[in-house]
Amino acid sequence: MELEYALTASASAATASAPDINKYQPCDSDYAVDSDEDLLQSVLDEPTFPLDVNAILAAMTKEDNATIANMTFKQIEARRCEILSSLELPTEKYDVFCKKLQMYRVIERPQDLRHGQLLRWIPLRSLSQNPYLTLGGTIFNIKQNITDGLHQVTIRNVKGFVYQIKFELNVMFQRLSKDELLILRAVDYVSDVKL
């Protein structure tokens, strides 16, 4: 979420030689949303959501979007709920994870990971004691480890720390990109028109 920062009006701020960072207050822009839930709802409900044919065709022709081209929001949500329920999470954890993962899709193959996308995961080793969903990070490298055959995913989190996780030892969720949202919206639109 991008926020614009506006300097609060005060006489002391105008006369100060160095700006006081405590004087900056976040201001919502016209397109700002408070959460993933708001963003998803705005995409689904917005009657003026651009279904630009050229943008849709450009998004559909990208090789990265091939795995999502024939899916709908409902199918993505159903698969995510199916995976989460198969983990046999406590009810309160299940509800929290579902809410946090609204704008994410399940990644079942390392080939479906996209560089530069936000990734969150549930470590399988945590399921027996205290299951948790990581804050995640941005993917910037994927390689297969020859010795154990597992895929190493290199991630950079929001604080700039770089670390590696093994794909096969975690349940992976990747945030939907703008192109993927556009494709899903178009597929949903076409599905609704067919009915």
- Please check whether residue 78 lies inside any domain of the structure: yes
**103 and 120 in contact (C-beta within 8 Å)?**
no
Could you tell me if 143 and 181 lie in one domain?
A: yes
Question: What was the pLDDT predicted at 36?
Answer: 56
Could you tell me if 103 and 132 lie in one domain?
A: yes
Instruction: Give the whole-angstrom CA distance, residue 193 versus residue 178.
Output: 22
- Please check whether residue 114 lies inside any domain of the structure: yes
Could you tell me if 82 and 15 lie in one domain?
A: no
Confidence of residue 158 (pLDDT cuts 50, 70, 90): confident
Could you tell me if 20 and 112 lie in one domain?
A: no
* Domain tally, the chain: 2
Question: What was the pLDDT predicted at 35?
Answer: 56
Question: What was the pLDDT predicted at 148?
Answer: 87
Could you tell me if 58 and 25 lie in one domain?
A: no
- Please check whether residue 185 lies inside any domain of the structure: yes
Query: Closest Cα partner for 10 from 19, 109, 27, 171?
Result: 19
**132 and 126 in contact (C-beta within 8 Å)?**
yes
Could you tell me if 21 and 65 lie in one domain?
A: no
- Please check whether residue 42 lies inside any domain of the structure: no
Could you tell me if 65 and 125 lie in one domain?
A: yes
Could you tell me if 88 and 161 lie in one domain?
A: yes
Q: Which residues touch 59 (CB under 8 Å, ≥6 apart)?
A: 65, 179, 180, 182, 183
- Please check whether residue 181 lies inside any domain of the structure: yes
Question: What was the pLDDT predicted at 8?
Answer: 32
Decide which of 103 and 3 is more confident: 103
Judged against a pLDDT cut of 90, whether residue 70 lies above it is answered with: no
Could you tell me if 75 and 153 lie in one domain?
A: yes
What CA dihedral angle connects 177, 179, 181 and 182, to 10 degrees?
A: 170
- Please check whether residue 119 lies inside any domain of the structure: yes
Give me 121's structure tokens.
Answer: 């995961």
- Mean pLDDT, rounded, for 185-195: 68
- Please check whether residue 44 lies inside any domain of the structure: no
Domain that holds residue 184: 53-194
Could you tell me if 28 and 67 lie in one domain?
A: no
Other Cβ atoms within 10 Å of 83 Cβ, number: 17
Could you tell me if 18 and 73 lie in one domain?
A: no
Judged against a pLDDT cut of 90, whether residue 93 lies above it is answered with: yes
- Please check whether residue 146 lies inside any domain of the structure: yes
- Mean pLDDT, rounded, for 54-67: 62
Could you tell me if 114 and 20 lie in one domain?
A: no
Residues 100-153 pLDDT 10s = 999 999 999 998 888 888 999 999 999 988 999 999 999 989 999 888 889 999
Question: What was the pLDDT predicted at 51?
Answer: 59
Residues 22-48 pLDDT 10s = 333 333 333 344 455 555 555 555 544
Instruction: Give the whole-angstrom CA distance, residue 137 versus residue 87.
Output: 22
- Mean pLDDT, rounded, for 74-86: 93
Confidence of residue 84 (pLDDT cuts 50, 70, 90): very high
